[in-house]
Structure 1
């Protein structure tokens, strides 16, 4: 353990102490790297069983100089290249994620103040922070007082009061005040570092279609080598064909079994959807998320900026005393907000409403605190003005305040006292007098009710996850036409175990921490839901990364945009159904067309079985050779299975996606495959024999 010096002697660390800590690795140098390297991505997409089988077939054809039959290998290369590009883009998005700035930090060492880069700090360094600066490392306050904005980390929009011994979280900002603080954590132990490390996990590609094809390729991979050898030996030894013809015929059978065409169709269809959505101001940062969103059956919404516009505005000012009229109250609010350093959304709404001549000079100021739920300011010639939550400033409930809360508004009371403002022990004065109520509303987004109603009609479950008061969220949800607005819980009052038990049945979650948001998503996934999450703040990052599909608004935090699957460039929640339509159209059309591709896989397998079985009949004239060559299979891939079905992918088909993609496709392909087998193995042989007769 490192012993800190007496905090009454704030001289900072000596150079010797700094070097000791550097030698022990107690330095604030940390890079949260993604778990997947570029080489791992390349290896995962190139060195697959599917590619290996195609490569061996290509080598065999090259060995016998059957160059015209190697066209198929271009498709394999394109599939691998597309997979690499898609995963590298996802990795690049995650690698860019950074919650910390690179500004110099005022640090006290050997009694002198020096400016250091954040990564040069060591455990125990004393740093000086003032309003507007970001906290570079977790630290405990030694001297001073400050109001800290932790919204980026916790989602709490109100400022948090920090006094001596309070912990300052890295990544947050000082909104007012100044402090001396001692670095408490460095590097990976910092709060922001842990958050980034958890968020910087490159998720594997989530495509059920590709997983189904991998299963099919895995099955064919197990049988393809013995089948290939059997067909080659049959052609060479029993039919006496030349080596080149034998290799070409056996390679054709193997190529026909591998479903490379449908993989190409899937990639090109998804790329087309990405382009179409881009034209509609939806940025798709991960191609396969289009397919995932099509399968979503549970959408978790962040209230602010999704159901509401995310733009607070003062809806009404209600005077509570005849002594101060509307004009006087407006003058007091104008002076208060002009002098105030508060920058939370509520203060910004008041600042937009009350603009004009400042009648009262400021003598002293106490910023708003989420702990107290109020702020105060001493104005010359008036007294001490308080602005905050009615339940924290008034002894009795104001009926008008309760009514406003039930309407989904945020309510503040403007109050006055003639007592002096005590900055060291802020407390509610005994002579406080309520002057007016302010009703502040975040308007419902236009079209939100219709969007929610439509999503429900499309069998998509809805949940609202918010850091706000659950009663307020419930009222807003009711206004937006949310059916289950009465099903809500205050997550600040329950344990993780209780939250897990309530996750599926409860519709609205209020006072939710970033950890709880992630836990809700995890629980919903465990019970079988395909989840999507909307958000806009850093406090949403963990839940966004956990969700199967993440959607953020362009107006959201840059760090959140960097890791999202989809970014709504218009910041309009009403675009979500259009994304859902596009995803369903692509997936349903691929499912509709897939049997065309699987016909070849099935008949190639059955014909290979028949060719091998014909050897057992004992007569050389009955021995069948595989009836196609590779170039024919490639032409079938391109001109029968390729271009015509690709045109069909543009068909509008927005019904809910059905499960069991591979099973349904195989059953639909089987009858046509059997007809091909019957014609090629029986009808043509009978016709040939009849001609000989």
Structure 2
């Protein structure tokens, strides 16, 4: 029943939520707070001061980028070099502390700026009554005792008490886990974090700010984060393992050089630092953070708000996209195409106009009807039933004009009815068809609508998005299956999807025939592409069924009926013009409301994940060969062959500089699970080959009469650097012109270090002894052949098509 606003009496309040006495205030629910009352509450701190969804603060960004595990390790090692007085050139690796921190901070601050701007644009704004007018305000501008208006899809931003309701149903599943909507009556409590799924109403704010029920959860969920992803957790696991290796490696190195080789303490410490520095994949975390941050900036330029950063990674792993038809494949707006009057005795056009006026928050269908029937007949409303996605109809009862319903013909009419059959034939053409009928029961009756007498068929045209076909074609090329899940008639949905060339659209499934058992449901959903008459609960169940089959599922939607499925999907994608509830639970919001933006999000995720995996091969190969070489040299009781300056410049030209470019390059491979195992399958054998080749070269040089320490180091430098460059050559595949140019530049820089006299002097390199250089080049040749052979064999074993040249193929 309708509860008139006047039935809700004014109320008094003399204590704030914090226990602070305030001036007694009488608030009129019809007019809301006055400007003076709002000012007094703001002064008393009675505001909704929960931080909005936003990125980390500047201070948090600085701390996160400066106080890292890698910076701490490098700071200790740099302190040792400073203590022995060899800052230049052996302390060059200390610049990595500054570079890691500065670049990471700059990129994340840019991402913060983009994210904050988009978060404000995409923010759900509640409507409050102030001085008798309904105004939109930001969530943090809501104050205690504000009267807040609600409609379908509105998120409840603070706790309160219902004042006036018209068939208002609230979904509290995000708080309680119970999916059945709760019908609210005046005086009932409403909780922040829930949302309205049907009807309209208003409520008074009784708890604001951090006292609200869901405030703490919302504050935690709103933090911009770089964690909770397979990629970053894998890298962290590797880093922890490396940290444990540093202690025995460092102890063995210092012991060996002090006691087995009788070196002076400064030389021994310098050798230890040279052994430990390359073990740390110093640029990996930097490039990972930078790639994610650049991804946020790039997507921000496309009006895509990433509310949880790991969503970029998650969407790159998606193999199934579940899309609602309305607002995704078709535009939200509709146009009334035809009214087929079935009962000439009925005032059809007056009834349509009256139904349009009876709903204060009409959906797209009713808006199209209202546009075509602007002149309301003035019928006296006695009861209203707002549209619900679960029941598929809405209606109104009028004092002298009876009970009217508007909804799905196949729901309101029995099977075999000729009118229902006519509606299905029309719907099969891709049109939306609604039935206007007279019901035998009042619309607010618990058994409504009862028996429905057909009065007219309402035919609505849906405009297909011009970019929908290209988007579906993209997903088809990428081996990502698309499931169209809609509450509309299955034949109508199938016709729309079929016009866009979606495979399987010719066999639409009516969700009312779906099995209840999870395994049977999973088989049906996996084998079909188009589903109609799907309830919100079924959408959720279908997402879960696909996940049970091992699929990574993205759900797109804009309506309140999509909220549960969006919440349960691996990645929820909401349209910016969608309901506040959908935007609140989604990880990604397309502020431009374009389904065509989604391929760019997928491509950005693939670029980030694929490139981080690519450069991880470089960094972890270096870690493997550094660890193995340190232990082999220590066990052989030889002086460490390198100075810190050697390992620093080797890292720059074989890993650091090229990795910077490779991390931001295009990449279209679909992300797969098993990041750590896949990377280590490349890093361990490649690192083993490099370390053995370098050690054999060093052992040969050390045992050759007349070879100086510098010459022995140079030979080892040649062997290690030459094979490491070939790992870069492999990782850069498939080649395009800029990659070839990059590789040529790195090889030229490497040769310049060895051949330019100034460089030889500065870095203590001497390639003049053929007895050392020739075996080193042989080691390089053997190492290159072994790693190249392994790369091809590994590709054959894994069933991957390996390419040398040309643009990278789509997965």
Question: Fold match, TM over 0.5?
Answer: yes
2:396 is matched with: 375
Q: Equivalent residue of 2:327, what SS?
A: helix
Indicate the residue corresponding to 1:352 in structure 2. 371
SS, match of residue 442 in structure 1: strand
Would you say how many aligned residue pairs link Structure 1 and Structure 2?
639
- 1:26-49 per-position Cα deviation (integer Å, ceiling 9, x unaligned): xx9987779999799887776654
What is aligned with 2:24? none
User: Structure 2: how far apart are the matches of 1:211 and 1:128?
Assistant: 42
2:339 is paired with a residue whose SS is strand
Structure 1 residues 462 and 216, CA, compared in 2 at 3 Å: closer, same or farther? same
Give 3-state SS (helix, strand or coil) of 2:332's partner.
coil
* Structure 1 residue 241 displacement after superposition: 3.0
- 3-state SS in 1 of match to 2:610: helix
Distance in 1, matches of 2:150 and 2:687, equals 75
Q: Paired residue for 1:209? A: 231
**Deviation of the 1:230 alpha carbon:** 1.9
Counterpart contact for 2:625–2:687, Cα < 8 Å: yes
Provide the residue aligned with 2:96 in structure 1.
72
> Within 5 A, what are the aligned runs for 1:78-227?
78=102, 81=105, 100=126, 103=129, 120=144, 137=159, 139=161, 146=166, 148=168, 205-227=227-249
**How much does 1:605 deviate?**
0.8
| Correspondences of 1:661-672 after superposition (within 5 Å) | 661-670=675-684, 672=686
Structure 2 residue matching 1:388: 3-state secondary structure:
strand
SS class of match (2:669):
coil
Answer whether contact 1:175 1:341 (CA < 8 A) is retained. Answer: no
Partner Cα distance (2:566, 2:108) in 1: 23
Matches within 5 A, 1:434-445: 435-445=455-465
Match of 2:380 in 1: 364
CA distance in 2, matches of 1:253, 1:131: 66
Q: Deviations 1:233-286 (Å, cap 9, x if unpaired)?
A: 322333333333322221121111111223333334444444444455545555
Displacement of 1:410 = 4.0
Q: Which gives a bigger RCO, structure 1 or 2 (Cα 8 Å, sep 6+)?
A: 1
In structure 1, C-alpha distance between the alignment counterparts of 2:110 and 2:645, rounded to whole Å: 30
Contact 2:358–2:396 (Cα < 8 Å) also in 1: no
Distance (Å, rounded) in 1 between the aligned partners of 2:224 and 2:510: 33
Q: Distance in 1 between matches of 2:151 and 2:604?
A: 47
Query: In the TM superposition, what is the alpha-carbon distance from 1:208 to its structure 2 partner?
Result: 3.0
Determine the C-alpha separation between the residues in 2 that align with 1:470 and 1:598. 52
Distance 2:206 2:701 in 1: 88
Alignment of 1:435-514 (within 5 A): 435-466=455-486, 476-477=496-497, 480=500, 481=502, 483=504, 486-487=508-509, 489-490=511-512, 498=517, 502=521, 505-506=524-525, 508=531, 511-513=534-536
- For the Cα contact (< 8 Å) 2:314–2:571, is it kept in 1? yes
**In the alignment, structure 1 residue 309 sits paired with structure 2 residue 335:** no
Tell me the distance in 1 between the aligned counterparts of 2:115 and 2:368.
38
Structure 2 gaps, min length 5: 1-6, 21-45, 133-140, 175-180, 708-811
Residues 572 and 377 of structure 1, relative CA distance in 2, 3 Å threshold: same
Structure 2 match to 1:296: 318
Call closer, same or farther: CA 1:457–1:374 in 2, change over 3 Å.
Answer: same
Structure 1 partner of 2:288: 266
Q: State how far apart, in whole Å, the 2-side matches of 1:316 and 1:436 are.
A: 10
TM-score, length basis structure 2: 0.62
Is contact 1:160–1:369 with CA below 8 Å preserved after alignment?
Answer: no
Determine which of 654, 673, 683 is the counterpart of 1:640: 654
Q: CA RMSD in A?
A: 5.6
Deviation at 1:318, TM superposition (A): 1.7
1:368–1:664 distance in 2 versus 1, CA, 3 Å: closer
Distance (Å, rounded) in 2 between the aligned partners of 1:648 and 1:662: 19
Q: What is the distance in 2 between the residues matched to 1:176 and 1:539?
A: 13
CA contact (8 A) 2:404 2:436 kept: yes
Q: Distance in 1 between matches of 2:582 and 2:428?
A: 32
Moved more, 388-397 or 237-246: 388-397
Give the TM-score, by structure 1 length: 0.71
Report the Cα distance in structure 2 between the residues aligned to 1:183 and 1:423, rounded to whole angstroms.
30
Moved more, 544-553 or 85-94: 85-94
Distance 1:430 1:226 in 2: 80
In the other structure, the counterpart of 1:660 is 674
Q: 1:628 to 1:537 in 2, by over 3 A?
A: farther
| Secondary structure at the counterpart of residue 333 of structure 2 | coil
Gaps of 5+ in 1: 1-8, 107-116, 616-622
Q: Partner of 2:635 in structure 1?
A: 613
Instruction: Write the mapping of 1:1-80 to structure 2, written as runs, cut at 5 A.
Output: 49-68=69-88, 69=91, 70-78=94-102
Q: Distance in 2 between matches of 1:577 and 1:413?
A: 37
1:229 aligns with 2:251: yes
Contact 1:150–1:172 at 8 Å: present in 2 too? yes
Deviation sequence 1:355-386 (CA, Å, 0-9, x none): 5xx4x74242455533773235689xxx6694
SS in 2 for 1:692: coil
In 2: Cα distance, 1:19 partner to 1:207 partner: 42
Using the alignment, how far apart are the partners of 1:524 and 1:414 within structure 2?
36
CA distance in 2, matches of 1:502, 1:432: 32
CA contact (8 A) 1:282 1:566 kept: yes
CA pair 60-98 structure 1, distance change in 2 beyond 3 A:
farther
Contact 2:494 2:508 in 1 (8 A): yes
Distance 1:609 1:41 in 2: 37
Partner of 2:691: 677
> In the aligned structure 1, how far is the partner of 2:487 from the partner of 2:546?
19
- Pairs within 5 Å for 1:573-592: 573-592=595-614
